């Protein structure tokens, strides 16, 4: 299993974060239809304009099975 990291500015939006991640793993939004991104039991809105600073109270690591 590969382990990749993405370092993001705290003003990056949830949507931008997901787009950057998908770009890094060479996937498109259509490739993940039917899949959900979760954090602490909450479903992430992949179109959210909320900054990661607002959503994540501290630094966070997200695991993906892709």
pTM of the predicted structure, to 2 decimals? 0.77
Number of domains in the chain: 1
3-class state of residue 41 by DSSP: coil
Q: Is 36 part of a structural domain of the chain?
A: yes
Q: Is 2 part of a structural domain of the chain?
A: no
Interatomic CA distance for residues 28 and 14, integer angstroms: 16
- Residue 6 clears pLDDT 60, i.e. is over it: yes
Q: Which domain holds residue 28?
A: 14-55
Confidence bin at 48 (pLDDT 50/70/90) = very high
* Rounded (10°) CA dihedral 45, 4, 22, 30: -90
Convert the pLDDT of each residue in 10-25 to its tens digit: 899 999 998 998 898 8
3-class state of residue 16 by DSSP: helix
**44 touches 18 (CB < 8 A):** yes
Q: Is 25 part of a structural domain of the chain?
A: yes
Q: Is 1 part of a structural domain of the chain?
A: no
Q: Is 29 part of a structural domain of the chain?
A: yes
């Amino acid at each position: 299993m590969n382990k990749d990291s993405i370092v993001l500015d705290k003003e990056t939006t949830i949507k931008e974060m997901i787009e950057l991640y998908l770009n890094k793993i060479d996937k498109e939004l259509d490739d993940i239809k039917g899949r959900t991104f979760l954090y602490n039991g909450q479903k992430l809105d992949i179109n959210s304009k909320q900054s990661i600073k607002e959503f994540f109270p501290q630094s966070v690591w997200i695991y993906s099975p892709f």
